[in-house]
Amino acid sequence: MAAVPVYRWRLAPDGLATRRQLRALGLRPGGQDVAAQVERPRRRRGPLVAYLYSIEQAKPVRPMTPAKRAALAKANAARRTCPACRRDAGYVIPPSLGMCATCAFPDQQRAA
């Protein structure tokens, strides 16, 4: 891969966009190579880097199929299901706890 042009933050030319900007336009990179990158300087660490893609070469986002929608719903339900009590917590279980708040802090639930 050849060296890509590097632009400073907010100084990229028109016709280039990040993945998020493409998605907001209903587009995806579609297999194209990175056209350029933009760097945002930071004080104590290296710069933040965002890759830019050509808007002209971008392809439309593929539509959501019923099978994809079902798989996404199943994955999200698994993220909400507590492995200890097997109930739907109603929120995504934090990885730091690994279980719902009721199972993680049983003493606090009884006191309330």
Domain boundaries, the chain: 6-60, 66-111
Sign of the alpha-carbon torsion through 80, 82, 88, 93: negative
Q: Which residues of 27-42 are buried (b: 16+ CB within 10 A; e: fewer)?
A: bbbeeeeebbbbeeee
pLDDT tens digits, one per residue of 25-54: 999 999 999 999 999 999 999 999 999 999
Give the pLDDT confidence score for residue 108 in this predicted structure: 75
Q: Which whole number is the average pLDDT over 90-106? A: 91
Beta bridge partner(s), residue 88: 81
Tokens linked to 94 = 């934090």
Tokens linked to 18 = 């990040």
- Whole-model pTM: value is 0.68
pLDDT tens digits, one per residue of 82-91: 999 999 999 9
Q: Is the pLDDT confidence value at 112 over 80?
A: no
- Mean residue pLDDT across the chain: 92
CB 67 within 8 A of CB 38: no
Q: Is the pLDDT confidence value at 63 over 70?
A: yes
Give 87's Cβ-side CA count (13 Å radius): 7
CB 97 within 8 A of CB 83: no
Give the pLDDT confidence score for residue 106 in this predicted structure: 83
Cβ neighbors of 111 (< 8 A, separation 6 or more) are none
